Structure 1
């Protein structure tokens, strides 16, 4: 039997080929929903689309050359394997996370096949009903995948272990479907219906457990971030209190010495030593300036946080310049804003520390409240930053990127206008603006 002279029904070989090609396109859509690329997202999708198209075009003449029976046996190698290899090349991860994604894809395509079979079963296996069932299941799974995509990508960044164990679930389910459906004559598949439904229910329950496990991990990570932020805020406030105590001690000593300073100045002026008096007065003024604490905004928590990170940066020989004009009333929750600034400043310090020795290291922070709330945080960098399709920087280091996701959630919640960029001056910049409803038109 070949594709030009099909047996067992007109066009059976061609229909199988078309169905296989359609399932390959569907597999590509499933993979794109789960794809966390090691390159720009748009470029990755173009590569996936072009690659899948090339694989399909190459398989058409192969199918007619080999004939339907041989091609059906070789479909996993000729059609599916190249798509899997392409996805592995584009994907950021090459470990158990990749295996879990691919086995999940296999389970979903098997589920689409199962849906078509179940829909067509009462109608004698009619191909039209089978196709409608597959399309409905495919659309439902695509919608579900895109809904779960943010959580799945977040878990890929958080979890580095356990994926091989997770992969056993979709792999076992796919194998069971293959045994119950693919290795059985179409007329005998109904006898395995109970086993198929039980197996599908068990797989769905297992994925539900995995979903709740991911949710638990996310909540734990969020709790840990909040704990770390609270710890940072407490450290910042404690540090500011220590600085205030030192400033008050210096001021107390200066007040104690003020009488001697005035007597000395009076004596110098009586002798006509104006130049000496002015020099002595300047030295006294410098001592007085040493008692002044730097304040950046009216919010005590934000003020302490900025002072804390400024000190952390300077202790690492990073130049810091902070120009902030913020009112006490903020357009966002103070703790959430602290989390954004803390994450951004930690990233800036980390980027500066990663620069080669002798390279200028600098962090600049600017913010204003009027007419709208806007912030800019800039730091020197190596100029090799990459950005995803939403404009957020991509981190290639394990364990990093959580702070960026936290910032993204903040921007989404407050509908902030934001931009990440690398300027010609070698500065990496984060800018964001939150519109004030009462700002009016200016």
Structure 2
């Protein structure tokens, strides 16, 4: 009597374990209502299974078990949790696969002690431990993989699905597995190896996509910072212009007073002073593109503040494959890195940056070189960042050039760090 009660409790735990793994994998929210719904669903279909066991016996009940358990669980996920049929089926197949380790633990304990009760108790204990492990370490990651794309869901569920059909075909509906057939023994290892190979290919493809997305994010971040620099420059110019407009009437009054006195020398001196002030607040003009002028003016001012001798020769072609945003991002990152490298040089006379932008064979060519304190190291053609969280600028520069089918090179020669690009 006790053995039968433990056996029935084991079957209930098996149904509850499989159902909870499936609905958790499908993304069921942990609420009291959902737990009650799953509990009532499990009890209802366990009663249905007991009735079938009573009417048709164990052998027939096992053969129709997919209709009594697996199909209802799949429909519950589709109808109650509102999940797509592919995620619902995959969750069910994976939950079936997760039921196997507790079954193996129970079988081992039952064989060691030669006792069916130990088999049942081993299964029950292993099921609780397995569910805790899956809930804490596996289910969230597996769910994200399923929801990532159709391809990832199909690959993730393929092995559990094949195992499901193979298990029922070779052990429940036939005795193919127990006959010791070589085909039966080798089928699952071959299948797992094949899908492992496919998974590696898929994983590599996904890693490439993630790397591309990360480069896009880095570039967008750099472009955002570049826009902030432009806005900061514009605000500074507006403030300077507003201040100068405010002072203009004072200048005119002073000039009028000097004119009444016919003091021509003072007027000339004062006009030269005003002209120099105007030049100080007027952006330097390097080319015809205003956004590029703003960026270059901003970095020219930065270089001057820290005592860096900056020479720029910018001759942009009429047509560019790069957008203004991409060109400004490329120049901003290059000049920012150059200024950072020069700032570390103790002797201000050695702080030098040279920028050349020109056109050759209908291609935009960029050559920027700067002096440095410490010679940089390189990895896969890119300079290594010395601090954590740095190095995105050079990656963004490389990405922009490669995006337009161009070529680039970072190098060191005769005390100069050189970046050259053609796009």
Instruction: Classify the TM-score, shorter chain.
Output: 0.3 to 0.5
Q: Scaled by the length of structure 2, what TM-score is found?
A: 0.48
Determine which structure has the larger helix proportion and give its number.
2
Q: Scaled by the length of structure 1, what TM-score is found?
A: 0.46
